[in-house]
Amino acid sequence: MKKRIISFLLMIVLVCSCFAAFAGCNKNDGNKEFKVGVLHINPVSSTSGYTYAHQQGIIAMQNALSLKDSQIIIKDSIDDNNSSAINTAIEELIEAGCNMIIGTSFGYMEELQNYANEYPNIIFSHGTGSLDTFGEGKNNNMNNYFGRIYQARYLSGIVAGLSTTSNKIGYVSAFGTTIAECTSGVNAFALGVQAVNPDAVVYVKTLNSWYDPANEAAYAKALIDMGCDVIAQHCDTEQPSVEAQKAGVYSIGYNSDMSKAIDNGEQTVLTSVVWNWGVYYTAAVREAMKCFENGEFKNTDAWVAFGNYYGSYADGLYDITPLSSEVSSDAASILELVKEEMRKGTTDWDVFTNKALSFTKENEVWTMSKVDRELKKADGTATGEITVSNIVGDMPYWIQGVNYVA
Amino acid sequence: MNAIISLLSSAITRGAPLLLGTTGEILNEKSGSLNLGVEGIMAVGAIGGFLGACWTESIILGILFGFICGALCGLLFAFLTITMKANQNVTGLAMTIFGVGVCRFIGQNMKTEGTFPIMNPNLTSKFAENGIPLLKNIPIIGPLLFSHNILVYLAIIIAVCVWIYMNKTKAGLKMRAIGENPAAADSVGINVDLYKYINITLGGGIMGIGGLYMGVIINNGTWNDDWIGGYGWIAVALVIFANWSAVKALLGSFIFGLMLALQSKVGNLAAEFPNALGWTAKIPVEFYMALPFILTAVVLIINSAMHKKSGNAPSAMGINYYREDR
């Protein structure tokens, strides 16, 4: 008798769960509005740093395209080393009926790629990655987006070079020579420093993690202990800036305007290297929506034509924030010269070309000239020509003037 | 020399929250309760103390708030395990999940106009670098021992006081007796439940100050959702390392602090002594991250190899006391 009752109950449970499942299906089919899913690495409630910058971009996109809140589904705090967490989050986004999934962190690359293979009807957009996904034998429903952020780092290097008095500049980097996004950032920063202050040395410490607030502060402290008086950073929170302020030295922020993230930051944060992701998100989602008809990804050619995105200075995808009052007035004039050069997008000069910028002051007016140089690695060998693919995906070395201290 | 001083002094700064957590846990375990909720209690103490300090603009009241919030969590644990006789292991794990959750919930919702109330820099600097006047100007010893934040000295004072309480007072003797054999203690007229309640609550309060330390010193009074970052679990391991003695915990927590500090300071050492210590920077950083835990395993092995069955571990730890079963 007992067995019968139990099996009867089990049967009821089964039947009910079937109904529930079908009900879910119906709801999805009936819903034709365009939905965007977003994967963030850190809590979406952060008020500065990496995820904050991306989330501001998403909000800007939502406002620009007047999407409803229900059309944007966010999964935050998805560790980008944790494959099963990424897979779960992507599956949840797919189940929620997303037509486009944006992964904002480097480590989501492989998982997004796998799901792009499996779901040709969904557009996947991956930030800061290095996979080239278009072309023969590859998916045409996935793209990469990134920008020439190293140019903004070069600008911030100029600010640091003019502001240091000990000629020691600290740099807390997330990763070392294994990830080109980090090395190209440090190297561009160092070139900016050298352009105005050839004697200064950039000391780099690497966290081996994108997000590790307690250690971000500790690493900054270790650099300050070595005598560094400007702390730049490539990590996800404002901790290096807070630690620098506590120790009475300057800092340079990243991702979002960090002078606003800490009290009295207007003075101690010299400038911040910032992303303006809304530029890309608005363009990409607008384009993606055009590719869909009645919830079907019809116009693949248009998406392939949109392609990978590598934003430039002229797009406004990145910049440095207004300078602190502690920075000498020369910096502003020099920066304006360089920014003008970047805006033009000239082909004969970029941060990593074999021309260096040199600045001279005559009658209170700064002029800029280009001089030949050969870029060298920290070990003294030549780097050879550096192309965009080097900067994005293959730069396993520090350049001369960078001192790696583990 | 600079690098060594900076390494050792940061070992002390990083060891102090461990010391507070460990001292609190020793009070718990010595009175017979295995409290695995250290991480959670620290988290609640952290957010409570942080808000208290921000609200009252006073570090003393901030510390008091941290203590009270931690103590309330301890009281909850005591109520569940002593009065309700809930399983201690499960309750402790639940306290961890609960405490970390409460901390995140409050932290993420304290946004005002898009920004978190970050601790006023005056307050942060009051917490951070005070040191002992005059003494901190002595070369080498000054920066090493006398230029720390107020909470470091508080942690050391608390640890010593707890040791004196446990080993030199009648109340401490009774409390240890309960941890060894509550039935025997009960039979000589010691109020078992009352002693347990007091010690667990007190221990929780001390853990709470440790949590406040994590928030305002290690994380600079800036909100992120991982303030405690596993220090509570290290504290649980440290109790065994310290053989249930608050004074040995002093040494143990600073050794663990050294291991934690190595990760960020190893490069400085290698840069200052390239010939002697240059190799240390070539070891992958993951090794330094694992070091405290390797050390714990080694100490446990040494302990058992020396035929000390379980060291000073209280015999009745983790077992609920039923008076009726006596």
* Domain CATH number, residue A197: 3.40.50.2300
**Inter-chain touch A213–B114, beta carbons under 8 Å:** no
Do the Cβ atoms of A213 and B226 come within 8 Å? Answer: yes
**Average predicted confidence (pLDDT) for chain A:** 88
Per-residue model confidence as pLDDT tens for chain B (326 residues): 888 998 999 999 999 999 999 999 999 999 999 999 999 999 999 999 999 998 888 999 999 999 999 999 999 999 999 999 999 999 999 999 999 999 999 887 776 555 555 677 777 777 876 788 888 888 888 888 998 999 999 999 999 999 999 999 999 999 999 999 999 999 999 999 999 999 999 999 999 999 999 999 998 888 888 899 889 999 998 998 888 999 999 999 999 999 989 988 888 888 888 888 888 888 888 888 888 888 878 877 887 777 666 568 899 999 999 988 86
User: Which of residues A131 and A330 earns the better pLDDT score?
Assistant: A330
CB–CB of A128/A317 below 8 Å? no
The alpha carbon of residue B267 is apart from the nearest alpha carbon of chain A, in Å, by: 5
| A219 chain-B contacts, CB cut-off 8 A | 264
| Res. A35: pLDDT tops 90 | yes
Let me know if residue A19 belongs to a domain.
Answer: no
B227 DSSP assignment: S
Per-residue tokens: B57: 């603009």
- The DSSP line for A92-106 is HHHHTT-SEEEE-SG
Q: Is residue A257 within 8 Å of residue A247, measured between CB atoms?
A: no
How close B220 comes to chain A (CA, Å)?
7
Same domain, residue pair A304 and A337: no
B29 vs B172: CA distance, rounded Å: 13
A364 and A216, same structural domain? yes
A156 and A44 housed in the same domain: no
Of the ranges A331-335, A336-340, B130-134, B199-203, which one carries the lowest mean pLDDT score?
B130-134
pLDDT of A65 strictly over 70: yes
pLDDT of res. A30 = 38
In terms of pLDDT, which residue wins out, A406 or B257?
Answer: B257
Q: Name chain A contacts of B14, Cβ cutoff 8 Å.
A: 218
Encode pLDDT of A277-308 as tens digits: 999 999 999 999 999 888 888 888 888 888 88
Scanning every residue of chain A, which has its alpha carbon at the shortest distance from the alpha carbon of B112?
A: A47
Q: Is residue A252 part of a domain?
A: yes
- A163 contacts chain B (CB < 8 A): no
Cβ of A405 and B263 within 8 Å? no
> Residues B164, B168, B169, B174: what is their CA dihedral angle, to the nearest 10 degrees?
100
Residues A157 and A112 in one domain: no
Across A198-340, the runs of DSSP E, i.e. the strands, are: 201-206, 230-234, 250-255, 269-275, 292-293, 296-297, 309-311, 318-320
Q: CB A205 to CB B116 under 8 A?
A: no
Is residue A126 within 8 A of residue A326, CB to CB? The reply is no
**Contact (CB<8Å) A225/B2:** yes
Nearest to A214 among B219, B225, B267 (CB): B219
- Interface mutation vs chain B, best among A235, A263, A267, most B CBs within 10 Å: A263
A217/B219 CB distance under 8 A: yes
Q: How far is A137 from chain B (nearest CA, A)?
A: 38
Record: contact A222-B120, CB cut-off 8 A:
no
Task: Assess whether A227 and A362 both reside in one domain.
Answer: yes
Structural domains in chain B, sorted by start: 2-325 (1.10.3470)
A190 close contact with B: CB closer than 8 A: no
d(CA B66, CA B209): 5
Lowest-pLDDT range, A12-16, A289-293, A354-358, B228-232?
A12-16
Beta bridge partners of A399: A377
Residues A225-231 have a mean pLDDT of 94
Residues A261 and A385 in one domain: yes
Distance from CA of A247 to the nearest CA of B (A): 9
Q: Determine, yes or no, domain membership for A12.
A: no
Residue A320 lies in a domain: no
Domain annotation covers residue A79: yes
Q: Which residue of B has its CA nearest to A258?
A: B115
Q: Is residue A165 part of a domain?
A: yes
* Res. A25 pLDDT band, cuts 50 70 90: very low
For residue A237, give the nearest of B108, B128, B224 by CB distance: B224
Q: Which residue, among B2, B115, B216, B220, would best test binding to A if mutated, counting the most A CBs under 10 Å from its CB?
A: B220
Query: Nearest CA of chain B to the CA of A50: how many Å?
Result: 13
Q: Is residue A20 part of a domain?
A: no
Contact of A245 with chain B, judged by CB distance below 8 Å, is answered with yes
Query: Cβ contacts (< 8 Å) between A264 and chain B: which residues?
Result: 121
Would you say B180 and B316 are in contact if contact means Cβ atoms under 8 Å apart?
yes
Contact B285 A264 (CB under 8 A): no
B-chain residues within 8 Å CB-CB of A178?
none
Measured between CA atoms, the residue of chain B closest to residue A246 is B125
User: Is there a single domain that holds both residue A132 and residue A153?
Assistant: no
Q: Is A43 on the interface with B (CB under 8 A)?
A: yes
Is B226's CB within 8 Å of A260's CB?
Answer: no
Residue A176 and residue A296 in one domain: no
A392 located within any domain: yes
Picking from A286, A314, A342, the residue at the C-terminal end of a domain is A314
* pLDDT category of residue A370 using cuts at 50, 70 and 90: very high
* Same structural domain, A136 and A153: no
- Answer whether A262 touches B (CB < 8 Å): yes
Measure B224 CA to nearest chain A CA, in Å. Answer: 7
Binary contact (B121, A264; C-beta < 8 A): yes
A113 near A142, Cβ under 8 Å? yes
Last residue of a domain, one of A263, A292, A314: A314
Q: How many CB atoms lie within 10 A of CB B125?
A: 16
Q: Are residues A243 and A353 in the same domain?
A: yes
Residues 6+ apart with CB under 8 A from A65: A282, A285, A286, A289
pLDDT value of position B60: 93
The reply to whether A254 and A177 lie within a common domain is yes
pLDDT of residue A49: 84
Count of domains observed in chain A? 2
Contacts 24+ apart (CB under 8 A), B139-142: B140/B1, B140/B5
Neighbours of A63 (CB within 10 A): 11
* Residues across chain A: 406
Residue range A107-121: average pLDDT? Answer: 90
The residue from A287, A314, A341 where one domain ends is: A314
Closest of B8, B1, B3, B2 to residue B144, by C-alpha: B8
Enclosing domain of residue A400: 149-274+328-404
A138 and A71 assigned to the same domain: yes
pLDDT mean over A232-256 = 92
Q: Quick one: closest CA in B to A208, which residue?
A: B285
pLDDT at A395 over 60: yes
pLDDT-based confidence at residue A80 (cuts at 50, 70, 90): confident
The minimal CB distance from A406 to the residues B14, B125, B267 is found for B267
Q: Name chain B contacts of A239, Cβ cutoff 8 Å.
A: 219-220, 222
